[in-house]
Structure 1
Amino acid sequence: MTSQSSGQAVFLSGSLMRHVTRMSLTTSIGLMAIFAVDFVDMVFISMLGNDALAAAVGYAGTLLFFTNSVNVGLSIAAGALVSRELGAGRPDQARRFGTSVAVLGAITGMILSALVLWNLRALLSLLGAEGEVLDLAVRYSSIILPTMWVMALAMAGMAVLRAHGDARRSMQATIFGGLVNAVLDPILIFAVGLGLDGAAIASVIARVCMLIAVMRPATKVHRGFARPSLKQVVQDVRPVRAIAVPAVLTNIATPVGNAIVIREVAQFGTDAVAGMAVIARLMPVAFSVVFALSGAIGPIVGQNYGAGQYDRVKETFLAGVKFTAIYVLLMAAVLFALRGPIADLFLAQGETRALIYLFCGPLALASFFNGVIFVANASFNNLGHPIYSTWVNWGRHTLGTWPFAVVGGILAGAPGVLLGQALGGVIFAVVCWVMVRRVVSKLSTPKKPDPFAGQNRLHALFGRRGW
């Protein structure tokens, strides 16, 4: 049995930059597999020659992002609790927390997906969808939403694997799901002739395959889950809730901000919404490493925090920021060089092409500030301050989005909306930097108890009295 499979904390020694790089790159490959399939979905849907289909996926994607944010928040709780317990040398407690989060995630997924399906048309209309686009978005969403509980279990399993330092197997599970989706997409969309419905069905099958692929190593290799029991889950609700609720609220803020942006962009026409839909698929593919930072750095922070190695906690934050800066610069240069071919791939013209060019230019560089926010949020979640992540994210996606997007839209149309959103991100990244530095600066290794403390106090007392 390897050190990982024995429940040993693997991030308590060694180069932090190497740990951050390995975890981020490995985690991002898995994420990229999922995002790349969404990207290919959009390419195939664009080939159908109907802008309404692309716009429908844009609206549906915003809503599905909201529901998946709940799963992300619960997986953050799993990663934080499991990594902390592993760092403190309590593998049995780590298994217990992993199991409780998985059970609570499945139950939450079933309830929330039912509520969203019940109000699906109204929610999509609220985002700005109407007419044919609304009907298509409803069909697409109604096929995928019932599998929310499947994704909840899969993401809990991936969080447990990362907490054990096994980002490789987590990556393999997501790649497997992505490959299944990629193979089924052209078959169901074109060969079978299901169109948009085919893309949704392929996503459903891929989610099930991903769950199967992730649970085997999580249970067999790392014994990351215990036998579930109602009593155990009830007992663990409080510690899970302490991290999960702020983390869920934190992640819900992102689709709220996206909804604000897409609603502001919608006033500039279907072409603008189609451009946003393309950017929404292109961004996570290009910057999957940045998106992976929270899940990648969280276990490193959690294990060292659980072990009381606070100097390494501080260094992990700085290593994450440095890594983000290097990656964003390299990827921004690649996007700028390929902006023309990328726009041609989607047959983009007019406003759609203008927005793609904008993303492949200055907006790509702005992803650095998103990375700073991700690293800071991971630090807050694993250092016992998840509510800070909630404040930052809601501030960034409300006060840091709506007024800037509105003013940007007035001054420069649809491109101005995106530029305004990016400016708000810069401001809140600075706020994050200040907050996280204050939190980590207060960490200090507790002093070990002095076995002669009582004798020393007596000596000092008698000495002062002249005994």
Structure 2
Amino acid sequence: MTDVLDETGAPLPQTRRGWHRRVAAIAGPIILSNASVPLVGTVDTAVMGRLPDPAYIGAVAVAALVFSYIHWSFAFLKMGTTGLAAQAFGAGRPDALRDVLGRALLLGLGFGLLVVLLQLPIEHLALPLVGASEQVTAFAGRYVAIRIWSTPAVLMTYAVIGWLLAVQNARAVFALQLLLNGLNVALNLAFVFGLGMDIDGVALASVIAEYAALAFGLWLIARELRRLPGRFHLGRLAERDKLVALLKVNLDLFVRTLCLVTGFAVFTAKSAQMDDVTLAGNAILQNLLQIVANGLDGFAHAAEVLVGGALGARSLAAFRSAISVSAQQAAVLALLLSLALWALGPALVALYTDIPAVQAAAGRYLPWMVLLPLFAVGAYQIDGVFIGATATAEMRNAMIAALLLYLAVLHLLLPRWGNDGLWLSLLAYMLLRIACMARYYPRLVRSVGAAGSAA
């Protein structure tokens, strides 16, 4: 049986303590890099929160919803790349590693250009569906018209990040995210406070930062590829069976991610239909949720990488260790995040806005955010396991079921309890995701065991 290898070519540890160190070594840099991701949304919201009209905060939330659909609908370019490339890495197949990268970059470029071509239908059809006020919709439209030009860079960067994670170069991902988000924040502040721009400056900052990040990411990839034997072959990139397999994985992940984003989109849309102050307060809390999600994603990504490597090497023992150790460490982080939100939540809300009504609205529903890390951690971890295993059909089916059940819960709770019902439904959504995925887990374990026995 082939050993599961780390990025140096050495076997992964065989002891429990060794596995804890290995998971922490992968998750640590990813958590640090992910910590800068919500910083952009935080600064966007905080900068708009210093302007006199709460409609600016709402506009950022509505525009972010549009780009959640656009960008995260293509998140398979990162998730699918990580799973397939991690399996190639674990099996010691450098040619397959190159092929996965090449196909993902080409798909990212093609889909990104398609979105740019469809910008007018997206802007004129998507924003009215949210149901926000006329002023919020107008501000959001200005943002979307500028930000959409960054889509090719965003989607190709997904492929770059997914591949770097698969080869366990988390430090390169950290550097890439630091450049992307640090430059975005700096330009944000310069354009809005230095040049007197408003929502246009926030959007332009993102476009510039995302193309700079793509250029840096491609340089990081080129440096990594110099360490691998072989070279790209255009003929291999176009092999029909490999393209069909990639498209199948990506189509499953597309449907799964579309369902996931729809769940959060419904949350934002229902917030927008209440009033601008409630929308702004919920937007601040959702931004805190993004901070939580990006922290917990570090261990989910560790599970993706190590599960993919274990499957590539057909090692059931490594598969089980990757799951259990990453889940334990993620649970500890979730508890710490909940305690931090409980202790620091009001102060964090005050950093976002100085509008008293918005501060009061966010503070009123802050207890729901304190609970969310404890409910969400299992959903993120089980996603990481199935992504690493490229068990995408199961993910698709589970997310469709979870979304339908979530919408039913929301239909029952929202009319009775208003915004409290909206937040309670979101907690239920996290648990429903875990339950619907868990029913496929025994089958996944059996398939790994069968593969290991046949090796």
CA contact (8 A) 1:4 1:166 kept: no
Q: Equivalent residue for 1:213?
A: 216
Does residue 71 of the first structure (1) align with residue 74 of the second (2)?
A: yes
CA distance in 1, matches of 2:248, 2:284: 36
User: Which one of the candidate residues 310, 325, 341 is aligned to 1:319?
Assistant: 325
Q: CA offset at residue 317 of structure 1? A: 1.7
Q: What is the distance in 2 between the residues matched to 1:129 and 1:233?
A: 45
Q: 2:448 aligns with which of 440, 443, 453?
A: 443
Is 1:16–1:312's contact at 8 Å kept on the other side of the alignment?
no
C-alpha distance after superposition, 1:233-262 (max 9, x if no partner): 353321211221111221122221112112
Shift of 1:176: 1.0
TM-score, normalised on structure 1? 0.88
Query: Which of these residues, 121, 143, 147, is aligned with residue 144 of structure 1?
Result: 147
Partner residue of 2:398? 392
The correspondence for 2:174, drawn from 171, 185, 191, is 171
Residue 366 of structure 1 and its aligned partner are, at CA, apart by 2.7
- How many residues end up aligned between the 2 structures? 444
**2:126 is matched by which residue type in structure 1?**
L
Pair 1:408 & 2:410 matched: no
Native 8 Å contact 1:408 1:420 kept in 2: yes
Identity, % of aligned pairs? 19
Do structure 1's residue 304 and structure 2's residue 310 form an aligned pair? yes
Q: Does 1:262 align with 2:262?
A: no
Are 2:62 and 1:55 equivalent residues in the alignment? no
Contact 1:11–1:165 (CA under 8 A) maintained in structure 2: no
Deviations 1:5-55 (A, max 9, x none): 77x477576733323223223112222212112101110111011111111
Change (3 A) 1:427 1:118: closer
CA distance in 1, matches of 2:93, 2:142: 46
SS of residue in 1 equivalent to 2:440: helix
When residues 70 and 262 of structure 1 are mapped into structure 2, their CA distance, relative to the original with a 3 A threshold, is closer
Q: Does 1:377 align with 2:383?
A: yes
- Measured after TM superposition, the shift of residue 117 of structure 1 is 3.6
What displacement does 1:109 show?
Answer: 1.5
**Pairwise mapping of residues 79-158 of structure 1 onto structure 2 (< 5 A)?**
79-158=82-161
Q: Between 289-298 and 151-160, report the one with greater CA deviation.
A: 289-298
1:271 partnered with 2:277: yes
Q: Residue 112 and residue 285 in structure 1: after superposition, are their counterparts in 2 closer, same or farther (change >3 A)? A: same
Which amino acid is 1:135 matched to?
A
CA distance in 1, matches of 2:90, 2:292: 33
Aligned residue number for residue 463 of structure 1: none
SS in 1 for 2:132: coil
- Range moving further from structure 2, 287-296 or 32-41: 287-296
Quick check: 1:26 aligned with 2:32? no
SS of the residue 1:347 aligns to = coil
Which of 327, 349, 365 aligns to 1:358? It is: 365
User: Per-residue deviation at 1:352?
Assistant: 5.3
Is 1:332 matched up with 2:335? no
Any conservation in 1 of the 2:7–2:168 contact (CA below 8 Å)? no
Task: Call closer, same or farther: CA 1:362–1:258 in 2, change over 3 Å.
Answer: closer
Cα shift at 1:348 = 4.9
Report the AA paired with residue 23 of structure 2. V
Q: Could you state the TM-score of these two structures normalised by the residue count of structure 2?
A: 0.90
Report the structure number with the largest CA radius of gyration. Answer: 1
Instruction: Answer yes or no: is 1:202 the counterpart of 2:209.
Output: no
Shift of 1:64: 0.3
Residue 204 of structure 1, CA deviation? 0.8
Cα distance in 1 for partners of 2:430, 2:177 equals 29
Alignment match, 2:254:
248
CA distance in 2, matches of 1:448, 1:342: 53
Contact conserved, 1:271 with 1:352, CA < 8 A, in 2? no
Distance 1:317 1:432 in 2: 14
In the alignment, the residues of structure 1 paired with residue 434 and residue 67 of structure 2 have an alpha-carbon distance, to the nearest angstrom, of 26
Q: Is the 8 A contact 2:109 2:155 kept in 1?
A: yes
**Structure 1 portions without partners, runs of 5+:** 450-467
Quick check: 1:109–1:148 contact (8 Å CA) kept in 2? yes
Pairwise CA distance, 1:230: 6.9
Provide the C-alpha distance between the structure 2 equivalents of 1:446 and 1:287, rounded to a whole number of angstroms.
Answer: 33
Task: Please state whether the residue corresponding to 1:122 is helix, strand or coil.
Answer: helix
Matched, 1:422 2:421: no
Cα deviation, residue 174, structure 1: 0.6
Q: 1:277 to 1:396 in 2, by over 3 A?
A: same
The reply to whether residue 433 of structure 1 matches residue 438 of structure 2 is yes
**Alpha-carbon distance between aligned partners in 2 of 1:117 and 1:438, rounded to the nearest angstrom:** 45
Alpha-carbon distance in structure 2 between the residues aligned to 1:22 and 1:298: 14
The 1-side partners of 2:131 and 2:12 are apart by: 46
Deviation (angstroms), 1:447: 4.1
The equivalent residue for 1:229 is: 234
